[in-house]
Structure 1
Amino acid sequence: MHKLLWSAVLPGLALALPAQAQQTRTITGTVTAAADRTPLPGVNVVVKGGTTGTQTDSEGRFSLPVPAGSTLVFSFIGYNAMERAVGDNASVDVALTANTTQLQEVKITTAFGIQQERRQINYGAQQVTAKDIIESRQPNIVNALQGKVAGVQVTSSGGAPGEGAAIVIRGGNSLDGDNQPLFVIDGIIMDNSSFVESTAPGGGSAFNGILGRSVASPNRAADINPEDVESMTVLKGPAAAALYGLRAANGAVIITTKKGKAGAVSIDYRTQFSVDEINRLPKLQSVYKQGTNGVFDPTTRLSWGPQFAPGEEVYDNMGNYFQKAYSWQNYLTMTGGTDKGSFLLSASNLDQRGVVPNSDFDKTTVRLSGTMKFSPKITAQGSAQYLNSGGRRSLQGPGLFGGTGGYFVSLLTWPRNDDARNYLNPDGTRRRLIGGVGSNDPDNPYFTAERNPVTDRTNRLIGNAQLTYQPAQWLTLNYNLGTDLYTEQVRSVRAIGTSQPSNQNGGISETTTRSRLLNSYLTAQFTHNFGENIGATLLLGNSIEQSTREATDIVGLVFRSPGTNSINNTENRGALTTNSTRRLVGNFARLNFDLFRQLTVELSGRYDMSSTLPRPNKNKNYGRGFLYGSATAGYEFTRTLGLDNNPILSYGKLRLSVAEVGKDTGPYRVESPLAQSTYIGGGFRLGFFGSNTQLKPERTRSYEAGLDLQFLKGRLGLDAGYYYAETRDQLIAPRVSQASGFILQYINGGTVVNEGVEIALSGKPVQLDNGFTWEVLANFYRNENRAKELPSFLTEVNQSDSWVIDVARGSAFPDRPISSIGVIDYQRVNDPNSPYNGQVIISPTTGLPSVVAGTFVYAGDRAPDFTTQVTNTVSYKGLSLAFLLDFRKGGKVVNGNEWVMVRNGLSERTLDRYKTAVIDGVVRQPDGNYVPNTRPVELTQGYFINQYAGTGWAFVEDGSWTRLRYATLSYRLPQTWLAGSFVKGVEVSVTGRNLLLFTKYSGADPETSSAGAGVRGGGSGGFDYGSTPATRGMDMALRVNF
């Protein structure tokens, strides 16, 4: 595919270059700041009245072909524009004067792509530029937000190629719903979901169970080409995103793509080569080998046998397994146009190999956008982008139902006296570690990677067409129609001879998901000034959104012949298709007042009607339609005090907001449809979810206060905010009586609270006359989340996709965070009047504690106490160094990998085996009192498996860290070196990712999300269980501008 792409695009490149070379008169020059004569990069330099233009480089230099006698216009945000006649000069140098007022007139993109001045925004919003996105060298744009925005937490799923990432803004609002923000691209809502079990109708079958959490699925925003992105604006709270309605209850990420520029055709090309390797691995003991109770036993996978003899080989099965991973990325952008219209054509290709054998990921994108100005009143814009991505992945985490785990769990259990690389018999069949078929025989990790692949392929089209009509100065009409449609195919193979007892003869599953999202937005904006000091803007709009999804799952069991992975090669087959449709219609309004350029007020309201909610009942206290809105105010006190030109405090603003927004439920939860069964005789059966015709939307009410300050004429800025949000009428699905015929039923019940502080500090501490600058962006974020209330009959709401088998799971407890950890506990003293209250009770006969099976208790919160990120950029002429330091305090991690190793005898914690110790706890006396335990016991295999690993307490660890997220060193060649050539700029760079990590966590990396980005509620962050460990890497890149 990518070869065809480049063959189509490169001829355009060849045709464009001669046109550049034909320009003979070239003007060069340097643009500096008048205050200190430092170079200004990114200044727009255009020929007045013409279409030719360029921007200054990192040294403030420019080179531009112009006709003789032209006038150049220099403009830059925060500075006064300047015009200079060229005359007969070959060089033009200018110094721009600062305009501190203009710094607040910078426009950022808000709801529906509407541009607003920063000073008019009275809620939490932060913008990330294209430079920041590319600087991180992340192919997934969600990962590029790490550390860039206060109040945003991004968690990568691991180190597999194409791995997904989850993003949460200001903590999770929903106990069971999706807590990730809405993604909008060029005013059109886009899908950012991940492949999860619920999208695969056969996901609950004995063959294909929990596939969604057993593969490294990408989030769909990862499809976007990062070079296409001009900026990403994060709207943090309900007040910021209220106009998007219930889809934006968790905030919104507004993506603005690059547009064509007037002027001659220009071309930008970037190529990047990367090398990655595993950053850290769990530590395995190398003293004891295969066996049980100190005796060698080749019929078990456990490592509780005798010690290795001197000189006996100890195999490093984990270290041998992982390989270096290489990737190559290519990006090409071509743009040009006139004052009447412009175009942009871009293409990209990513070819990525994984650290796991036989794993890979590739992505190809092509995008065409254009703008046409038919008249001063009518402008049309449109874009279409095709995206193709997919790869081959290995089963990870728990594997599939009935299996023995993914490849990493196999590595954590493989005895070190056996070489796992020897995984095939001479006849090509799988060599078994032990005889027989059963759960005691793990799948060989090499066999899993080669014979049990999970492959996926996504074909996607995102497009929109927008028409803007301005019949009068005071009225602007806009209509935007867009679509996001894709087909995702996932195939999972279980080869003949795998350990799964029920599928010894192999099987295959093919799941195809077809998704279509259609958006229609119509807005009318009215503006009017009441004299010189009062301005008003009224926005009225209508939105229609419809999403449809069809999922087909085909399962084939028992391969007729080995080596042919096809449904046609199976004896027993079954198929199932499910469909869902959801429609949302909304009407909205927003009214803005700007009073004396000191006080801004904004009022907004929206009325939504959702097809997933019940029809109104006779009492009218619930129904498909619901109303909500927001009110914000901002006071620029420095204008009142006359401090606009103050050399110390140049800008100050107080802002307040209150908002309410709703969130509906999924399709078909009001009335339960019948489900067709292809198993056990076929026919129809009741679905999993019982109906509830009284469901109401979740409602989030938030309050926010903020302070925006700028010092030293814009060289130092502070954006601080406090917020409080309460989400009531939680939509949750507890289990119901089996007599009902259903398993789960959605109800309203519970309240979740988020309260936090976020601070963004930006500045330029050093700016010297010789061009040396040092810029800093620091973000601080602290959020306190808790389930203020649960339904009276529930003591816990757990996330079914976040767990470590039998001992720990993601849970929400009353008055605890929704990202809490629930663990199986020991029997403890439960007497507030006892000095030993809460102590573990020890058996007086065995000297061991008793495990209370089936009951989970609170063991900590996976969310951090606070996070701080500091981005530094040091520049000197063409040389630039940018690096991001990331600090996290608190947040617990469940080390599920350590749990697996303890049970199997491979953990270093088990080196105390067979020693004598006294277990901490108390013993109950006949009179009912307790005394400290003093009885010594031998730490046997049974103790480690049944007592030590019988609960999750020993595996909950501190997840604090300090890390160097990335460091990028770049050098842009001086413009004088390229004068007279068709090459406008050349930049070379090298980037190191995840180079340093300091943490007390004993596992691979505390930043982990074992079940992927698609887990709802509290998510799966903080569970380290069988996923591919994080990697560190090096990127080498070259960028050329023509």
Structure 2
Amino acid sequence: MRNKLLFKIGWLVLTLIPAILFAQNRTLTGTVTTGKDIPVPGATVLVKNGSQAAATDGNGAFTINVPSNAVLTISAIGYKTQTIDVGSQTSLNVNLAGDVSRLDEVVVTGLSTSVKRQNLANAVAVIGPNQLSGTAPAQTFDAALEGKIPGAYINANSGAPGGGISVKLRGVTSVYGNTQPLYVVDGVFVDNTATSGGLNAVTSAGTSGATSNQDNPSGRIADLRIEDINDIEILKGASAAAIYGSKAAGGVIIITTKRGKQGKTAVTLSQDLGFLRPIKLLGVRQFTAETAATLPGDPATLTKMFNDANAKGEIYDYEKEIYDNTPFTSNTVLSVNGANEKTGFYFSVGHKDEDGLVDRTGYNNTNVRLNVDHKISDHIKLGVSTNYIHSSSDRGIFGNDNAGVTTGIALSSTPGFAQLHPDANGNYPANPFAASNPLQTIALMENNEDVNRLITGANLEVSLQKSAHSLTRFIGRGGFDFYNLETKLLFPSVLQFEAINKGASAQGFTKNMSTNFILSLVNTYTPTANLSLNTSAGITQETGDYNNLLNVATQIISGQSNIDQAGSINATQLRTKYLNSGIFVQEEATIANALTLTGGLRFDRSSNNGNTAKYYVYPKGAVSLNLTSLGLIKEGFFENVKLRTAYGEANNTPAYGSKFTSLGVSNISGFPGLLVNTDAGQPDIKPERQKEFETGIDFSLLKGRLGFELTYYNKNISDFLLLTTPPASTGFARHWVNAGDLRNHGVELGLNARPVEARNVTWNSSVNFWLNRSKVTKLTVQPVQLGSTGGVLLGTYQIEQGKSATQIVGLNGQGVGILGDAEPTFQMSTYNEVTFFKNLSLRFLIHWKKGGQNVNVTSLQNVFGGTSADYDEKTPSGMPKGVTQLMQIGTNAQQTVETSTYLRFREIGLYYSFTKLPVSFVKSISLGASLNNYFTITKYKSYDPEVSNFGTGFSSGVDIDPYPSSKRAAFHLMFNF
């Protein structure tokens, strides 16, 4: 009987629980607008200390279930966060005040901690989705960063499909070490290695194998899809980035992808269609019978060739024929996201397909992403991010070349009266003016990069204890990045320049696995309303396993591409591994919401260091003082005034293998043997160390509608690494040394404004200005020249004590002197968004780079080949310009060191959103049109002033007949369900 009674009571309780819960919760509706009653779409509505959340739609409306006595927190980018006690209300209208300085924005300050911008001690740049992909989307993720990061110097390695961008934050951080920032995607350290495909086997441009920087390979960060990214934070200084360890020596770019939002499941389908055009063509020389006879060769034969071609109307502009095309682009993305109180998810699948300017080149990318967040209990949260990528790039054959076979080099010496087109049977004639027929090479060769990649990360957060004043959490983050890269080159034996090798096939196979994890304990202690202490400590580890195998075969059987169908095979393999581990502790104190003090230590060791067991110590510290929050400056004209200072140290590990003197396999009298490498290792080699001091002031006025940021930094790099020539008595040709110190210092200015906020017009604007100066303050070896082709004959970089680290030296008519500097005088950019009548939006980004020189060999190559468009222009002396330039070769390199100033309209986008539709299942439809890099004002004489043919390392700004850069136009259609 008693059991039956207990059963009935239990059943009654279970029956009443839903009713009780229903009685405790109610539905709240509302709208979020600005002070001018303009809807704020995408605002986040959260129940404070609860799990309920919602986001506003295109009309600023939201619906959320709230418990009794609920307190809501409403936030949106560009507006001040507002907290509201709901009480018994069932509907709510919220007006958000503008906050162009983003003082309420939460910014990363450690591996597991963050702080509001109003108390931030570092200059941290943030790029939102509208700036990244909502204006005029670029082809690849790395290209989408151009002109958007204050303090960055960004160049495209080549215009070839598939990307390839060089990024330097706050100047040169290393000469032979890593110069690129660390990319972190949802906690995963993502590899950005550029792998050579083996083109040097044909071009003889530089060293063979995977370490070459003259094959114009793309960096692997180009694989990411910008449509999946929610925001990007850029930690530029050592004081901010040091906590991430040695891989962060060049700064950190933290990428956060989109997650599920509470509310009804949202589906978005977007389609972009567009086309490409070359940014610029150089033009060709207009020959006459007389000028044709001056080209290398027999004058009578050349005159006859020109006259015959002219009589048949067969004078061609091969540059225009090859480059001046209008290829088609397509990009399709489907995304689904949703969440309840326990689980949220974001799923997307996208496919991008683009043809290149040059026939048989192009890029396609297929991307699938699934992000899942689950609240296991009130104390445990788990998030998983998974991204599968397949990309394929056909990049052609361009760039530096010592064999005369690349497209640009062959064109530079080919006049328009040469006959290069195939006959009726498809047979191409030999080019009498160059080693290759570029039309034949384009039609028959292959250069493909094919990538399969999986990036997976996880985030676990466990609340270990919680009280009225204290919260202790365990936070674990980490993941892996694995990709399989296959490079394929094929040069059939029928090609003109394969007459000796009888065809060549190069196949590369690369597997890379990178892992990392961060395990930390974070305690937040708030004894009073005016004091908050945030203590964190933990361990980190990163591993890398890179394995590249490159097989180059010659004398291949006609019609075959397999390397075993060849008469000769040469194989090279590069394997690198590293293990980096660290320990960190950090303390952050916020007093009266006005004074923020931060101090931390990072202990790092690496398998690449000479002493692998030694932990090097890197401290950091920062102070932020908000004068308005402290009451020293009364709110009025100034809404917020903050002073900040930060200091930090970071390290860059030595190059892999630099501590060893390797042995090479050799055939000795028919027996396998070993020979000592000519590069000597350095057993006691040390990491490069950065010490950076940063200070600045931030202030906003006019009720938050105008905000300024001013930052000065001074960064010193000690023990930077060089590969130099030792005394001949050592028996070695080169050796690694910690050669000296260099310094970077610069200024960054930022302005954020809302100049217009009316009922029917809103204008948001940001302006950034930045400059950097470098100097080699100590050098223990003789000056070292590096980073260019032709040395002082054409201009090259030189590391020299007391001089800029990026100076360019060369012959100046009286010897060797300084001809320029790759560092720009300054850079400026402005991003603007103007909204008309709530639904029509105009967005544009303008970028101005003033000064900075490139080593422009492209223009001189056309002069040397006798095909430059202005070759026959008369100089004041009456001599043809081309002849005058040729006479300077060997005496003056100034003509190749050219200023690369430009003003570029990087992005222009016009979008209209339809939010009132006759069908309820479609929330909105957006139409748009955009232009990317479409207008460039420059006097630079080559295809693009943004160029870096020698890859992503120290030697940027070298221009040698690259794949021409493109501008793009696109039309956009998006459905939100």
Normalising by structure 1, report the TM-score: 0.84
Equivalent-residue separation in structure 1 for 2:895 and 2:201 (angstroms): 37
Per-residue deviation, 1:124? 1.7
- Name the aligned partner's letter for residue 450 of structure 2: R
Per-residue deviation, 1:148? 2.1
1:912–1:271: structure 2 CA closer, same or farther, 3 Å change rule? closer
Q: Is the 8 A contact 1:174 1:752 kept in 2?
A: no
Q: Residue 598 of structure 1 is aligned with which of 594, 598, 603?
A: 594
Q: Percent identity?
A: 23
**Corresponding residue for 2:843?**
882
Q: Please say if 1:455 is aligned against 2:448.
A: yes
**Corresponding residue for 1:134?**
133
- Name the aligned partner's letter for residue 120 of structure 2: I
**Corresponding residue for 1:1003?**
942
Instruction: Report 1:189-200 matches (<5 A).
Output: 189-196=189-196
Equivalent-residue separation in structure 2 for 1:603 and 1:741 (angstroms): 48
3-state SS in 1 of match to 2:118: helix
1:720–1:206: structure 2 CA closer, same or farther, 3 Å change rule? closer
Instruction: Report 1:858-873 matches (<5 A).
Output: 858-873=818-833
Per-residue deviation, 1:396? 0.3
Equivalent-residue separation in structure 2 for 1:139 and 1:411 (angstroms): 27
**Corresponding residue for 1:821?**
808
Equivalent-residue separation in structure 1 for 2:802 and 2:855 (angstroms): 21
Q: Please say if 1:523 is aligned against 2:511.
A: no
**Corresponding residue for 1:165?**
165
Q: Is the 8 A contact 2:849 2:903 kept in 1?
A: yes
Per-residue deviation, 1:315? 1.7
**Corresponding residue for 1:795?**
783
3-state SS in 2 of match to 1:782: strand
Per-residue deviation, 1:866? 0.2
Equivalent-residue separation in structure 2 for 1:256 and 1:101 (angstroms): 21
Equivalent-residue separation in structure 2 for 1:453 and 1:966 (angstroms): 32
**Corresponding residue for 2:224?**
224
Instruction: Report 1:839-850 matches (<5 A).
Output: none
Per-residue deviation, 1:550? 1.1
**Corresponding residue for 2:12?**
none
Equivalent-residue separation in structure 2 for 1:866 and 1:679 (angstroms): 57
3-state SS in 2 of match to 1:750: strand
1:237–1:74: structure 2 CA closer, same or farther, 3 Å change rule? closer
Per-residue deviation, 1:940? 10
- Name the aligned partner's letter for residue 912 of structure 2: Y
Q: Residue 656 of structure 2 is aligned with which of 651, 661, 667?
A: 667
Per-residue deviation, 1:990? 0.5
Equivalent-residue separation in structure 2 for 1:319 and 1:201 (angstroms): 29
Equivalent-residue separation in structure 1 for 2:930 and 2:669 (angstroms): 57
Per-residue deviation, 1:692? 0.8
Per-residue deviation, 1:143? 2.2
**Corresponding residue for 1:988?**
927
Q: Please say if 1:247 is aligned against 2:183.
A: no
Q: Please say if 1:583 is aligned against 2:543.
A: no
**Corresponding residue for 1:1020?**
956
Q: Is the 8 A contact 1:304 1:941 kept in 2?
A: no
3-state SS in 2 of match to 1:864: coil
Q: Is the 8 A contact 2:498 2:504 kept in 1?
A: no
Q: Deviations over 1:158-206 (max 9, x none)?
A: 4321121111111112122221111111122111222248999999899
Q: Please say if 1:464 is aligned against 2:457.
A: yes
1:127–1:304: structure 2 CA closer, same or farther, 3 Å change rule? farther
Per-residue deviation, 1:433? 1.8
- Name the aligned partner's letter for residue 319 of structure 1: K
Q: Please say if 1:557 is aligned against 2:554.
A: yes
**Corresponding residue for 1:352?**
354
Deviates more, 1:283-292 or 1:577-586: 283-292
Instruction: Report 1:80-99 matches (<5 A).
Output: 80-82=82-84, 94-98=93-97
Instruction: Report 1:751-766 matches (<5 A).
Output: 751-766=741-756
1:771–1:941: structure 2 CA closer, same or farther, 3 Å change rule? closer
Per-residue deviation, 1:911? 1.1
3-state SS in 2 of match to 1:775: strand
3-state SS in 2 of match to 1:318: helix
Q: Is the 8 A contact 1:74 1:83 kept in 2?
A: no
Q: Deviations over 1:423-450 (max 9, x none)?
A: x35665541122xxxxx63312222212
- Name the aligned partner's letter for residue 902 of structure 1: V
Equivalent-residue separation in structure 1 for 2:616 and 2:202 (angstroms): 35
3-state SS in 2 of match to 1:355: coil
Aligned residues: 939
Q: Deviations over 1:254-274 (max 9, x none)?
A: 111111223332212221112
**Corresponding residue for 2:387?**
385
Per-residue deviation, 1:83? 7.0
Q: Deviations over 1:42-61 (max 9, x none)?
A: 2235899896844232xx44
Q: Please say if 1:319 is aligned against 2:279.
A: no
Q: Residue 537 of structure 2 is aligned with which of 540, 544, 555?
A: 540
Per-residue deviation, 1:808? 2.8
Q: Deviations over 1:296-339 (max 9, x none)?
A: 73899999999997996532111111221211111121112321
Q: Please say if 1:896 is aligned against 2:857.
A: yes
Equivalent-residue separation in structure 1 for 2:713 and 2:305 (angstroms): 53
1:38–1:939: structure 2 CA closer, same or farther, 3 Å change rule? closer
Q: Please say if 1:1030 is aligned against 2:970.
A: no
Equivalent-residue separation in structure 2 for 1:661 and 1:956 (angstroms): 34
| Gap runs ≥5 in structure 2 | 1-25
Equivalent-residue separation in structure 2 for 1:213 and 1:394 (angstroms): 16
Q: Is the 8 A contact 1:584 1:608 kept in 2?
A: yes
Q: Deviations over 1:497-541 (max 9, x none)?
A: 445478440111111111111112111112223433222111101
Q: Is the 8 A contact 1:301 1:433 kept in 2?
A: no
Instruction: Report 1:322-721 matches (<5 A).
Output: 322=323, 323-399=325-401, 403-420=403-420, 422=421, 424=422, 428-434=426-432, 441-473=434-466, 474-500=471-497, 503-560=500-557, 562-615=558-611, 624-641=614-631, 643=633, 646-676=635-665, 683-687=673-677, 689-721=679-711
1:312–1:123: structure 2 CA closer, same or farther, 3 Å change rule? same
Q: Is the 8 A contact 1:861 1:891 kept in 2?
A: yes
Q: Is the 8 A contact 1:274 1:327 kept in 2?
A: yes
Q: Please say if 1:956 is aligned against 2:897.
A: yes
1:903–1:202: structure 2 CA closer, same or farther, 3 Å change rule? closer
3-state SS in 1 of match to 2:246: helix
1:312–1:745: structure 2 CA closer, same or farther, 3 Å change rule? same
1:522–1:68: structure 2 CA closer, same or farther, 3 Å change rule? closer
1:300–1:396: structure 2 CA closer, same or farther, 3 Å change rule? farther
- Name the aligned partner's letter for residue 812 of structure 1: I
- Name the aligned partner's letter for residue 437 of structure 2: N
Equivalent-residue separation in structure 1 for 2:316 and 2:657 (angstroms): 53
Q: Is the 8 A contact 1:107 1:118 kept in 2?
A: yes
Per-residue deviation, 1:80? 2.0
**Corresponding residue for 1:933?**
none
Equivalent-residue separation in structure 2 for 1:195 and 1:381 (angstroms): 32
- Name the aligned partner's letter for residue 319 of structure 2: M
1:720–1:256: structure 2 CA closer, same or farther, 3 Å change rule? same
1:393–1:299: structure 2 CA closer, same or farther, 3 Å change rule? farther
Deviates more, 1:154-163 or 1:632-641: 154-163
Equivalent-residue separation in structure 2 for 1:517 and 1:485 (angstroms): 6
Per-residue deviation, 1:82? 4.5
Equivalent-residue separation in structure 1 for 2:64 and 2:631 (angstroms): 47
Q: Deviations over 1:783-840 (max 9, x none)?
A: 1112223234x2234125x668952334333333333323344345xxxxxxxxxxxx
Q: Is the 8 A contact 1:122 1:634 kept in 2?
A: yes
3-state SS in 2 of match to 1:733: strand
1:200–1:342: structure 2 CA closer, same or farther, 3 Å change rule? farther
Equivalent-residue separation in structure 1 for 2:285 and 2:681 (angstroms): 52
Q: Is the 8 A contact 2:917 2:923 kept in 1?
A: no
**Corresponding residue for 2:298?**
297
Q: Deviations over 1:666-704 (max 9, x none)?
A: 222112232346999664433453111121111111111
- Name the aligned partner's letter for residue 507 of structure 1: A
Per-residue deviation, 1:717? 1.0
Q: Is the 8 A contact 2:198 2:208 kept in 1?
A: no
| Gap runs ≥5 in structure 1 | 1-24, 435-439, 617-622, 829-855, 919-937
1:677–1:716: structure 2 CA closer, same or farther, 3 Å change rule? farther
Equivalent-residue separation in structure 1 for 2:41 and 2:526 (angstroms): 36
